Structure 1
Amino acid sequence: MMTSLFSVFEPSSSIFSAPLNWISTFIGLLFLPLVFWAFPSRWSWFWIKILKTLHKELKPLLTSYHTGATLIFISLFSLIIFNNSLGLLPYIFTSSSHLTMTLSLSLPIWMTLMIFGWYKHSQHMFAHLVPQGTPSILMPFMVIIETISNLIRPGTLAVRLTANMIAGHLLLTLLSQSGPELSSSLLLFSILTLSLILLLILESAVAIIQSYVFTVLSTLYMGEIN
C-alpha cells in the first residue's frame, strides 16, 4: 500500500489511545539521568552557560521589563531546541515540524502581547501603525500594511519553524530511501553516505538556529509594545 511521503512526519501508532508521535515530545526526558538534576556535571554546566549567554542577548531587548521576563523566552528556546534535536534521531516524530505545536506556541504569545499592549500602551500602539516621517497621503496605506503585518506575525513564526524543520527531514528521507538502489556502486553509495552526513550536520545547525530565531523574534515583538 502506497502512502504519502509526508506520512513519515505523523505516524499513526498509539498506546492506550494516546498517539506516540506527540508522546515523543516528552520522551526525551527519559534520556537524562537522575544525577543531571541533582548534581552539577559538565553537561549541566555547558547548558547553563548557553542559557546565561542567551540571557545576556535577550536582556537589552527587554530593558523596560523585569529581569525575570527573559526566563519566559529562555524556557521557550529550551523547549524548541529540545524537540528539534530530538527529531533528528531515527523513528522519532518531530513535533516542532507540525503547525499544531508551532501555532500553539506563537499564537498565545502574540495574543498576550497584543492584549497587554493595547490595554496599557494604546497611544504607542496607534503610533506604531504609522512610521515616523511617513507622508500624509500614504498614512492610510501604511496603517493597512502595518495592521496586516502585525496580524500575520504568529503565522509567520509558526510557518517559518515548521517549514525549515520539514524541508531538511524531507531531504534526509528522500536520500535515505535511494540508498538500497545504489548499493551496487560503491562510489555512488559513498557519495550518498557523505551527503547524508553533511545534511545531518546542516540539520543540526538549523535546529539550533531556528530555535534562536523564534525566541529572538518573540522577544522583539514584546519589546515593540512599550
Structure 2
Amino acid sequence: MDLSQRGKLRVTGEDRVKWLQSVISNDILPLAPGQGTYSSLLTHKGKMVTYFRVYQLGEALMLEDVGEIGDVTHSALRKFLLFGTKAKMENCAETWGLLLISGPKAPELVHAAFGTEPSSLKPLSFVPVDIDGHAGMLIRTEETGETDVEILLPADGLKAAWDRCWSHGEPFGLRPFGAHALESLRVEAGFPKAGPDLNESIVPP
C-alpha cells in the first residue's frame, strides 16, 4: 500500500536532537541510530496537536505522521524553530515516498525483494536499504496488527521499490489493499492515529 501522502519531516543540524527534545512529549535522547519511538506535540494544556514517529538516523532525525493529517506537524513544529537554533527542518511530504507491506508473509517477501530480513527488528526499529541506487529505510512498524514493514525512501525511488515488491510477490500471495481495509485493520488492532483518535478534543489516558 502506498502511504506517501503521510507527512514526513527531516531534521538536521548540530542542535537537531536538543531542539526536538525540547518541544515534543517523548524522550528521544536514548535513541541510537536505527531506533525509533512514538511522540507528540501538545498544547500548553496538554492537549494533542499531532502524533508521529521519530526515527534516529544518526546524521538526521526523520518524523513520520501516524495518520493522514496534511501539513499539521510541519506547521506546528516550525513555530518553535527560533532564530539562532542550529537545526533545520525539511518538509519531505512530497519528496519522500512510503510503502507499507503487511501480513504474516511480509518478512519473507521483503527478504526476497530487498535482501533484508525484518523479522528480528523490534517495532519502530529500521535498517538502511538500497533500492537501485536509492538509499532508504526499511522499518518494522505497527499499522494493522499483522507483521508490518514500511519502506521509506526518496520519491524518485518509489517505483523501483513498488516494482520489486510485485516482481517477487506472487509466491507470497501479494495483493493490493486500500485505505478502508487499512482503517478496519487498525481499529481492530487498537492502534491510535492522529485525527480521529488523537486530537485537541481527546486527551489520551
Category of TM-score, reference length = shorter chain: under 0.3
Instruction: Report which of the two structures shows the higher radius of gyration computed on alpha carbons.
Output: 1
Q: Relative contact order: is structure 1 or structure 2 higher (C-alpha 8 Å, sep ≥ 6)?
A: 1
TM-score, length-scaled by structure 2: 0.22
Q: Which is helix-richer, 1 or 2?
A: 1
